[in-house]
């Protein structure tokens, strides 16, 4: 009984993670500028990959695979949004324009 529950939870995590990865891929192709594309890739991609790593951790039969998957999950969740933020700041500093429908540029005051 517990094996069936673990298999169902693993399948659910994989499906939800794949859905978030699909949303990230659609966001990369459909969003108008580099900043919104980075937002889609960092947020939805991180959640999707993290959920799939949790599915691997849950499905693993041994403790070492569980520990590696959890370490990868925490590393990815902590580093991917920060790196996307730094890339967006570098793109802004280099002068990549915002989309014309953008309402406000809060980094414009801090531009060197």
Q: What percent of the chain has pLDDT over 70?
A: 96
pTM above 0.85, yes or no: no
Task: Count up the domains in the chain and report the number.
Answer: 1
CA distances for 44 relative to 17, 21, 24, 63, angstroms: 9, 6, 5, 28
pLDDT in tens, 21-61: 999 999 999 999 888 888 888 889 899 999 999 999 999 87
Residue 59 structural domain = 2-96
**Under a CB-based contact definition with an 8 Å cutoff, are residues 24 and 42 in contact?**
no
Residue 56 lies in a domain: yes
CB atoms within 10 A of CB 84: 20
CB atoms within 10 A of CB 58: 16
> Residue 17 domain-assigned?
yes
Whether 45 maps to a domain, the answer reads yes
Residue 82 lies in a domain: yes
- b/e map of 28-50 (b: 16 or more CB within 10 Å)? eeebebbbbbbbbbbbbbbbbbb
Does residue 7 sit within a domain? yes
**Residues composing the chain:** 112
Tell me how far apart the alpha carbons of residues 54 and 50 are, in angstroms, rounded to a whole number. Answer: 6
In a domain, 103, yes or no: no
**pLDDT digit string (tens) for 77-86?**
899 889 988 9
Residue 108 lies in a domain: no
């Amino acid at each position: 009984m517990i094996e069936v529950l673990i298999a169902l939870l693993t399948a659910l995590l994989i499906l939800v993670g794949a859905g978030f990865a699909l949303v990230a891929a659609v966001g990369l192709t459909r969003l108008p500028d580099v900043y919104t594309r980075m937002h889609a890739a960092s947020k939805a991609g991180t959640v999707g990959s993290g959920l799939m790593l949790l599915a691997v951790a849950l499905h693993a039969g041994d403790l070492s695979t569980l520990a590696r998957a959890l370490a990868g999950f925490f590393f990815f969740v902590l580093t991917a949004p920060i790196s996307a933020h730094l890339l967006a700041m570098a793109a802004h500093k280099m002068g990549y324009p915002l989309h014309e429908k953008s309402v406000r540029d809060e980094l414009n005051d801090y531009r060197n």
